[in-house]
Structure 1
Amino acid sequence: MDSVDLNVLRSVLQWRRAGQRVVLYSVVQTWGSAPRPPGAMLALRGDGVVIGSVSGGCIEDDLIARLHDGRLPDDGPPVQLVTYGVTRDEAARFGLPCGGTLRLTEERVGDPAWVAELLARCEAHEMVARELDVATGTVRLSAASKSDLVSFDGERLRAIYGPRWRLLLIGAGQLSRYVAEMARLLDFEVLICDPRTEFVHGWEEQHGRFVPGMPDEAVLNIQTDERTAIVALTHDPRLDDMALLTALNSRAFYVGALGSRVNSRKRREDLAALGLSAEAIARLHGPIGLPIGSHTPAEIALSLMAQIVAIKNGVEVSQRKPLLETVN
């Protein structure tokens, strides 16, 4: 799931613990060109405050209106189904694309214990499935895998929740600060490892978390998984290559290292000499980033994050010409 939806659940938990009424909407089915995919969520507080999104905005207005005009009585059923865009006129009224239709569950949140447990499991970097019984409002949590999809059979909604995407930066220099800021805006959890204490100053306001130890230890200590990207940015092979040797054999979905084409070719040769397999070395992105003609630190950071996001989203990105045809 989108980690933005985890923020919706955090608000649900906070509001319910404060004793406020909360209705949770989830997209369960779409037909045609629907604005948001199944699993997208919106939470509506008892005073009309909302967080999240299930459409481009017009449906949100109607959901708030349902609260204020009495279509959401306190003693209503625990879960109802709400459908928008059945007719062309309704699709136009609510700003849906021509022919677009979406169905939502309208769920009154009672005991928020399941919300707390789900968030805790995601924080522990687990994939979690939430099964909602439409007839009773009962929620059951179970383990899930990254291949699981949101499903709805008319009686039960099974939604998949996952941990936040993470970015581990090796090196705390100037470029890392730009990358960290952009990654944070893209809702990545930012981790930094740099044993050089001279570079730590000024990171207090960068919203990143330092991982102690040497770079190879950091890759292991964070329990790198398929929702983790790792980028070496120190320009010091004694630090960068330590991280790469471990990262390229991990489950990280992206591993990159700063350097020119010449330096990147030399790095691949060095990694091969250190015993890393050709298959592992082929996973390395270097030079990093999409070719946008970047020169400044901010441009390089933009190029890098664009490449990471594209790969995260399953978009094929064209690499520059191969830097090393074979690695022996």
Structure 2
Amino acid sequence: MTDPCAVAHGESAPPEAGRVLVAVFDSPVAEYLLRYGEDLGYETILVDPAGETTAIPALDERADVVVTNHHRPELGAQLQAALAQPARWIGVLGNPRHPGPHVEALRALGVPDEEIARVHRPVGLNIGSRTPPEIAIATLAGLLADRNDRPGGFAFPAP
């Protein structure tokens, strides 16, 4: 097992992360998610129907999928494709004060409510993020907390 202190001090290499981050829809947030995700050891993939990778690739339980634009007409189809696979985590960016349009889009495609419930919204830690880099940091911090079975924030268990 790798010593976390040794990794933090640059004395040993971090263990292979084996994580995949899929950003759906090219956007400023997606740009930062993918950039910072690479720094965190994710294999990163951008999916956009108007880009080079137009469809959700084959995913397994290592994959975290973040939809970065909830206004796109392809929202339902892209989420349906992600939900058809065993991705570890699927989420959609959006203001938590407004209903998520993904629910209606998925229901229109006949996706069962149990599957729709797999979609997280809002995503990320509640740090008051507003700019694309802040949103990306909050999202990635939330994914790391979830992967490590931690609540996020500044509460730590007693030693």
| Distance in 2, Cα, partners of 1:315 & 1:193 | 29
Match of 1:227?
62
Match of 1:189?
43
Match of 1:127?
none
Match of 2:20?
166
| Distance in 1, Cα, partners of 2:74 & 2:121 | 16
Matched, 1:257 2:92: yes
**Equivalences, count:** 148
1:315 positional shift: 2.7
Gaps of 5+ in 1: 1-26, 28-34, 42-49, 54-160, 198-209, 319-328
Matches within 5 A, 1:185-224: 185-197=39-51, 212-213=53-54, 218-219=55-56, 222-224=57-59
Among candidates 120, 126, 142, match of residue 291 of structure 1:
126
Conservation of the 8 A alpha-carbon contact between 2:29 and 2:133: yes
1:195 positional shift: 2.8
Rate the CA distance shift 1:174–1:168 in 2: closer, same or farther, 3 A.
Answer: same
- Superposed structure 1 runs of 4+ greater than 6 Å apart: none
Amino acid corresponding to residue 88 of structure 2 in structure 1:
F
Rate the CA distance shift 1:288–1:52 in 2: closer, same or farther, 3 A.
Answer: closer
Rate the CA distance shift 1:173–1:313 in 2: closer, same or farther, 3 A.
Answer: same
Conservation of the 8 A alpha-carbon contact between 2:76 and 2:109: no
1:238 positional shift: 1.9
Match of 1:268?
103
Gaps of 5+ in 2: 154-159
Give aligned-pair identity as a percent. Answer: 30
Amino acid corresponding to residue 73 of structure 2 in structure 1:
R
Match of 1:121?
none
| Distance in 2, Cα, partners of 1:231 & 1:288 | 8
Aligned CA-pair RMSD? 2.8
Match of 1:311?
146
Rate the CA distance shift 1:162–1:186 in 2: closer, same or farther, 3 A.
Answer: closer
Match of 1:36?
3
Match of 1:176?
30
- Flag the structure with higher strand content: 1
- Considering Cα pairs closer than 8 Å and 6+ residues apart, tell me whether 1 or 2 has the greater RCO: 2
| Distance in 2, Cα, partners of 1:315 & 1:248 | 24
Per-residue CA deviation, residues 211-248 of structure 1 (Å, 9 max, x unaligned), is x23xxxx32xx321100011111333322221111212
1:51 positional shift: 5.1
Matched, 1:52 2:13: yes
| Distance in 1, Cα, partners of 2:17 & 2:87 | 14
| Distance in 2, Cα, partners of 1:276 & 1:284 | 12
1:316 positional shift: 4.7
| Distance in 2, Cα, partners of 1:240 & 1:273 | 11
